[in-house]
Structure 1
């Protein structure tokens, strides 16, 4: 129920917030199930995803991409290394820095997780058409920040 001070526009924005929540829940549901089978969680998926997209990146770059602290990344990254999904190697140009890549098993898991999301997006985009996909991308870029802020270098 709307209170007296809630405008029609506020109601539309509340609905948009709810749609965003339900869409994200649908987008992450299958990957979350796959991860849970291995005792992993959504942050593990984010790590696998971005390491797969940028193999050889430094841990510091992954921290910046994910926007998490060293403390928040430490345990899940350590777990991924321990179960043989991620490799950590010294950077060839700076032995103090650590670079990340996926093992074959890590790449296989990441591909399986992302495939479920690619299939969902492909189905939705095909049903809505190119103009709707473009509009969605523009909205997502605006929500994420500047369009090239999150692009790989």
Structure 2
């Protein structure tokens, strides 16, 4: 079929067949979409002397206030050295607070300060605006399909972290 889809929904008839050219176009679309998606936050981060690693840290600290350094390491999938560099800057600049654990004094729990929350809100609003516009243009069914594609591309361990965040939204 011209659209790359087969007819039915049962067995092998429900499979989607794509040519290498269609896949290449999808890969390129993802590259350029990601570039657009990060463009506005990159500009904001640059004004503050930060990069994308700082953005990811601020985003996930905001999503899970009180997260430990180890849990953030696992979520971000970065080295301890890399995360320490990012956290040190965010703490020194007054965007993140590191609090000693109440049960385990060796743990450090991370929280955004009011300044950190303001930066996170500015970064998120830039991305939400772009997503909102794209979702409206694509329509409801495309949004659901896009989400399924993204989730299917995740490695199982990444999917587990993603699912944990979804459960927290309930």
TM, length-normalised to structure 2: 0.82
Alignment of structure 1 residues 4-153 onto 2, 5 Å: 9-146=19-156, 147-150=159-162, 151-152=164-165
Cα displacement string for residues 16-64 of structure 1 (whole angstroms, at most 9, x for unaligned residues): 1111110000000000000000110000000000000000010000000
Equivalent position SS for 2:66: coil
Equivalent position SS for 1:100: strand
TM-aligned CA deviation for residue 148 of structure 1: 4.5
| Structure with max Cα Rg | 2
> Retained in 1: the 8 A contact 2:42–2:51?
yes
Gap runs ≥5 in structure 1: 1-7
> Retained in 1: the 8 A contact 2:91–2:98?
yes
TM, length-normalised to structure 1: 0.91
Of structures 1 and 2, the one scoring higher in RCO (CA 8 A, sep 6+) is: 1
Gap runs ≥5 in structure 2: 1-17
Matched residues, number: 146
Equivalent position SS for 1:94: coil
Alignment RMSD: 1.4
